[in-house]
Structure 1
């Protein structure tokens, strides 16, 4: 049975192994520090459980931007590789959409890496449209 639960900062030990699946180059102590700061900035995280075992998660940001209004941004969506292809991603997104509506959001936006072809296909199948590019510039050395 699949269930969804909002996680808190106290769940960092459960969250970090999934973030390491996304990017193993970021040291665990840096992830710890960043997650602490993110939770202070309104970050939310939903965990996906199968028979009480955490098998995936998605970060969530609820923000307002002038061009779209109040919306939810799924962030770093990850399903453990052992559970992909089971329809869990679709169930997660339906949970996120329902949660967003309950939070008075009118849309959903997200970023997807250009190298993540499977993710791009998934998001297009979810009804997302490509509306721009995400740019990044490093301002100082990152630890």
Structure 2
């Protein structure tokens, strides 16, 4: 098995990643919507990485370097998904290790991500990768009244 991690940094390669991203973000309607969102988010530092197994996209990570008063310089991982057909092959671990190295190379002191409370399989994976639950996130939809 040959593994390669590379940037997904053109509209064409983002479009090609849609089927995998949709496994994680099922609310995305189509590849055009993904490309449009990627283009907007890229202005905020968002980047996509793909892990290819024998030339096929098998895992995907969306991330950005950030800095704030709470965490200082850090990497925020927006999206992290392994193709459901490839789970259990340590591809997520391989991609997570690459993200940690990348974070260090960008001067980041830590890596952060959010996950739903209901994502118990994800929680187990993150704990195995050395991440620790340190906060709760509160949200409130803002409707137009």
1:72, CA displacement in angstroms? 0.7
Cα separation, partners in 2 of 1:140 and 1:73, compared to 1, 3 Å: same
Task: Give a deviation string over 1:4-63, Cα, whole Å, max 9, x none.
Answer: 001114222122222211132332243332222111221011100011111110001110
Cross-structure match for 1:134: 137
Is the Cα–Cα contact under 8 Å of residues 44 and 61 in structure 1 kept in the other structure?
yes
Given candidates 7, 14, 17, the residue that maps to 2:19 is: 17
Deviations 1:61-118 (A, max 9, x none): 1101212211111221010011110111111111111111111111111101111111
When the two chains are superposed, the root-mean-square deviation of aligned CA atoms in Å is 1.5
Question: Within 5 A, what are the aligned runs for 1:29-68?
Answer: 29-68=32-71
Contact 1:9–1:35 under 8 Å retained in 2: no
Is 1:113 aligned with 2:83?
A: no
Matched residue, 1:3 = 4
Unaligned runs of 5+ in 2: none
Aligned-partner SS, 1:81: coil
Separation in 1 of the partners of 2:95 and 2:105?
Answer: 15
TM-score, with normalisation over the residues of structure 1?
0.90
